[in-house]
Amino acid sequence: MTDYTNLQNELKQKPRVWLITGVAGFIGSNLLEALLKADQKVIGLDNFSTGKEHNLSEVRKALTANQRNNFKFIKGDIRILSECKRACAGVDYVLHHAALASVPLSIEDPLRCNENNVTGFLNLLLAARDQKVRRFVYASSSAVYGDCEDSLKVEDRVGQSISPYAASKSANELYASVFSKTYGLGSIGLRYFNVFGPRQDPNGAYAAVLPRWVTAMITREPVSIYGDGSTSRDFLYIANVVQANLLAATTSNPAAINQVFNVALGTRTTLNELFEVIRSKLLPDYPHLQNFRSHYQAFRPGDILHSQADISKAKTLLGYNPSHTLEQGLDAALDWYKNNLCGQGLGLSAKAVHKPNEMLGLSRQGRNRDVSLVQKSGFPEHPLAQSVMSVLREVTILPCRGRIRVRNP
Ligand code: NAD
């Protein structure tokens, strides 16, 4: 059995109390789901600045009543020390993920970035120290590598920060290290690379390119690639991030404590390769993608060409062993992307958006429902609404297929 399987069994037998900050966000809500499914007790803190109530209700729906009862949510802000102290009371492990997680926003508003990512971080360290938590695990970022040009990123070779966001994550690592030396608080920093998966905001940072492209391909919008497509990233499915957090929180290896670790797959995928993988996975359901091509635009200034992590430190010291490759992660995430990002927000039937070729088989009532929803949605100009309308229009001119003939949607 792997270290992680052992750990999952142990946790089930001996539940612990966990605090997840940023619990309503992408990574936080996935941690929540995994922990509650492992019958742990979880306290979640979030101020809903980018997180969503919807993410929490989606998690609740996936649980048993008992598991749901193990969750206590606190609407609170890490910028307020008393709220951090309240959240840390009685907690064994902190998984700190609340942050302003956007590089462009940090450039626009560095003060806000500092308040959330540095002052907020310090508040939580103080609260964790005072409440004597067993371990403080926090989200760092591959952004700390800054202008380091090594194509394989190793933990102890970082460059200069190139954004306030990156500076804030470097400051987190410094403070965590100081708290371990000064107060003996055991912490572990996880430098995530490009994480993707369910509940990811397509407008967010990092691997948001995945949900954006999936949506664009399905709805026949153009897909733009900056540069010639040879830019590469280390894309990582969320289940691997969950694994790294649980291992980091519970490790008893002294060499692993007060360290930072790359959390990635340890592979590099170019944007051209990523485009092709997504296209080929969607093709069976969306024949219009047969000849679908991306558009190339100029390189964006400041974009790093290649980013790949060396994950040997996490493998050796934490027993980290990614469970999902990029393709396996995509297989697991695609259904969620299809069902949540492409039209359901408008109340359109899944079939209308996802299986346009099967629209021929949809009843007149079903089609009329979609048309009227588009009209009533208040977003008739929305690209998704437009796309559905164009599918419906197309259906009307398609020749007779089988026994179904549609004249007027
Ligand atoms: P996210 O924006 O989905 O989640 C962040 C959560 O923190 C949100 O729910 C937000 O409402 C909450 N939050 C922000 N400020 C808060 C405050 N002051 N008080 C309480 N809650 C607050 O982002 P994510 O992608 O889930 O990222 C989680 C963490 O991982 C962040 O620290 C981010 O910097 C880091 N990270 C993410 C990636 C990635 O690929 N997604 C990569 C590297 C690092």
201 located within any domain: no
Q: Are 192 and 263 in contact (CB under 8 A)?
A: yes
pLDDT score of 21: 98
Cα–Cα distance list, 99 to 112, 169, 270 (Å): 10, 10, 28
Positions of the chain with pLDDT under 50 = 344-351, 356-357, 359-361, 377-379, 395-409
Same domain, yes or no: 259 and 348? no
Q: Model confidence over 253-269: pLDDT tens digits?
A: 999 999 999 999 999 99
Same domain, yes or no: 243 and 382? no
Question: How many whole angstroms from 200 Cα to the centroid of ligand 1?
Answer: 11
> Does residue 26's CB lie within 6 angstroms of at least one atom of ligand 1?
yes
**Rounded Cα–Cα distance for residues 169 and 165 (Å):** 6
pLDDT score of 149: 87
Same domain, yes or no: 321 and 351? no
Same domain, yes or no: 118 and 246? yes
pLDDT score of 363: 55
297 located within any domain: no
> Does residue 314's CB lie within 6 angstroms of at least one atom of ligand 1?
no
228 located within any domain: no
- Helix, coil or strand: residue 326: helix
Interior CA angle at 54 toward 124 and 379, to 5°?
Answer: 130
132 located within any domain: yes
Cα–Cα distance list, 81 to 24, 78, 168, 194 (Å): 20, 7, 18, 30
206 is catalytic: no
- Helix, coil or strand: residue 12: helix
Same domain, yes or no: 10 and 83? yes
Q: Tell me the residue type at 91.
A: V
Question: How many whole angstroms from 117 Cα to the centroid of ligand 1?
Answer: 9
Predicted structure pTM score = 0.86
408 located within any domain: no
Domain count along the chain: 2
**Rounded Cα–Cα distance for residues 79 and 74 (Å):** 14
Residue nearest to atom 6 of ligand 1 (CA): 22
Range of the domain at 119: 3-193+236-266+310-325
pLDDT score of 396: 39
Q: What is the CATH number of the domain that holds 161?
A: 3.40.50.720
Q: Tell me the residue type at 383.
A: P
Return the closest-CA partner of residue 215 out of 227, 203, 205.
203
pLDDT score of 409: 32
> Does residue 262's CB lie within 6 angstroms of at least one atom of ligand 1?
no
pLDDT score of 299: 82
pLDDT score of 172: 98
Same domain, yes or no: 349 and 314? no
Same domain, yes or no: 261 and 349? no
> Does residue 87's CB lie within 6 angstroms of at least one atom of ligand 1?
no
279 located within any domain: no
Pairing of strands 295-297, 224-226: parallel
Q: Which atom of ligand 1 is nearest to the CA of 50?
A: 11
Residue nearest to atom 41 of ligand 1 (CA): 195
Rg of the chain (C-alpha set): 23
The kind and range of the H/E element at 169 are helix 164-183
Q: Which atom of ligand 1 is nearest to the CA of 29?
A: 26
Pocket probe for ligand 1: among 48, 49, 94, the residue whose CB has the most ligand atoms within 8 Å is 49
Same domain, yes or no: 55 and 117? yes
Question: How many whole angstroms from 308 Cα to the centroid of ligand 1?
Answer: 22
Same domain, yes or no: 348 and 319? no
pLDDT score of 381: 53
220 located within any domain: no
